[in-house]
Amino acid sequence: MRRIALVFFVALSVSLLPSLSAAQIDARMLRFPAVSQTHIAFVYAGDIWTVPKAGGTAVRLSSPRGEESFPRFSPDGTRIAFSAEYDGNTDVFVVPTTGGEPVRLTYHPMADRVLGWTPDGTRVLFASSRASGRQRYNQFFTVGLDGGLPQELPVPYGEFGTYSPDGAQFVYMPMSQDFRTWKRYRGGWAPDLWLFDLQTFASRNLTNNPGNDAQPMWHGNTLYFMSDRGETQRNNIWALDIAGGQPRKVTDFKDFDITFPSLGPDAIVFQAGGRLYLLDLASEKFAEVPIRVVTDEATLRPRTVQGEPHITQAAVSPTGRRAVFNVRGDIVTVPAEHGAILNITRSSGVAERYPRWSPDGRLV
């Protein structure tokens, strides 16, 4: 097989000044937000950024080659715990909020997803399948800021969870649909929220809903959570009195689902439609957080990409002299021995698939 090299070009501005102004962009596709008393942390383009709660120009806090996710502020707001791939595997790291060298806390081949902190701020809570022997479900663990062996919580299994303010109880979801590509699932894998007593090991179902109740956030006597219950079946923020009663709807997004909300001292930050919003808990009113990022837009630079790892869906011409492949969404023909390699579609905005030769070999 001949080596296939594809060069993808991005249209760049001829003028220098427009290109410089474009480097500071009104950011979208912001994920996994967290909020402290003063700042918001989030993931953009695989890195962790921070910005004041009122919005503004964000500062990049991490920039390894791998992905980072789920930043979570410590209770005092001085540190951020997060999951990252600095050394190849997804482990737990902690970094000062003002920046600095990240400290690795976990070492295990299974991925460790940061969920938050213990109420006293001495340990980081995370979910991992390290003890289950399977990647089908996770369990809850905490690890100290000096590392050491993680301690498993006495909860059978779960995906996301939160401590009560006094640390004596734990609300969790046994399973999660948050990473699935479908929505509005109804069935046996639709998660409810469970209350678990860490001293007596007693548990009870708090929501018992046929829909999806997820992302519990315990604030005072109120449990905030994300749910797709209701007529629209859109994910919104709901609130439930821990002592009992019926859940009430706090937000009413109809066009986009809310995803990955996170609780801070006095607010909840969440993402919807690629933007970040801040929900004030005192008034239960929310507003979009305007965020700009300054970046070199390195992923937009022209680059040469080796096509061999991306070859799929081959077909040989009737004469046997050429073959056609799908390579990164373009259709490419390759000679059997001598000749040119031709990209015959060159449509960067469209993905072509399943090439086939006409019987006479003149068309694909």
**pLDDT at position 306:** 82
Domain chopping of the chain, boundaries: 1-12+301-364, 16-294
pLDDT at site 231: 86
Low-confidence ranges of the chain (pLDDT < 70): 1-24, 134-135, 297-299
> What fold does the segment set 16-294 form as a domain?
Neuraminidase (2.120.10)
- What pLDDT was estimated at residue 5? 44
Which two three-digit tokens encode residue 165? Answer: 């303010």
Q: What does the pLDDT read at residue 23?
A: 58
Distance from the Cα of residue 327 to its chain's centroid = 27
Per-residue pLDDT reduced to its tens digit, 196-250: 999 999 999 999 999 999 999 999 999 999 999 988 899 999 999 998 889 999 9
- Say whether pTM exceeds 0.85: no
